[in-house]
Amino acid sequence: MPSPELIIAFFLATGIFAYMPGPSMLYAAAQTIARGQRAGWFAALGIHIGGYVHVIAAAFGLAILFKSVPILYVALKFGGAAYLIWLGFKMFTSKSLLKTTDLKVDVKSPRRAFWESVTVEVLNPKTAIFYLAFLPQFVNPNAGLAVWIQLLILGTIVNIVFSSSDVLCVLLANKLTTFFKNSGSSNRIASRLGGGILIAIGFNIALNRQ
């Protein structure tokens, strides 16, 4: 395994990347604001599960396709952006309101938030590129463990740390929902705010040239 100095650098870099504001944090916050805290937890879980797809892909070298076949990266990038915009539009134009007593949503919403989040994360090629570029810097080819096992271990750690920032966003966003209680118009504003955030994230991904 890497030296202690390299491991410290790994955790420091991971923490910095994890807590830099990004699409997944905003996405978890948007789901929480629009659908309630339970949906936010499921959204964070969905992002976490989707992250393992990229970890496994990086570990087994599948993500290298994004560099060797650029059109695949572009297609997945715009596909993910379009999906986010569509989700945001649905949320923005939704006529259904949160219950004013406890801000709970229908049973299907958390489940829907989970699967939507898994899809959003899997369709994010930048996550794949990040793992492919970041993880190998901390791998020791001469170690007793196979390289792919080291990549899986490091990738799992990164995914957990990244998810901790999503959890924090859910907690903070849930505080905001207290302002939307007992008001139908405010609940509508919450849905539109959450939808607007998703649409903005989608356009940002689509227009970003990297």
pTM of the predicted model as reported, rounded to 2 decimal places: 0.70
pLDDT at residue 206 greater than cutoff 70: yes
More confident call, 196 vs 180: 196
Task: Indicate whether 100 pLDDT > 90.
Answer: no
Q: What is the band of 101 on the pLDDT scale with cuts at 50, 70, 90?
A: very low
State mean pLDDT over 183-195.
64
pLDDT at 195 over 60: yes
What percent of the chain stands above pLDDT 90?
Answer: 18
Q: What is the mean pLDDT of residues 183-206?
A: 69
pLDDT for res 48: 95
Three-state secondary structure of 62-116: HHHHHHHCHHHHHHHHHHHHHHHHHHHHHHHHCCCCCCCCCCCCCCHHHHHHHHH
pLDDT at 104 over 70: no
Structure confidence at residue 67 as a pLDDT band (50, 70, 90): low
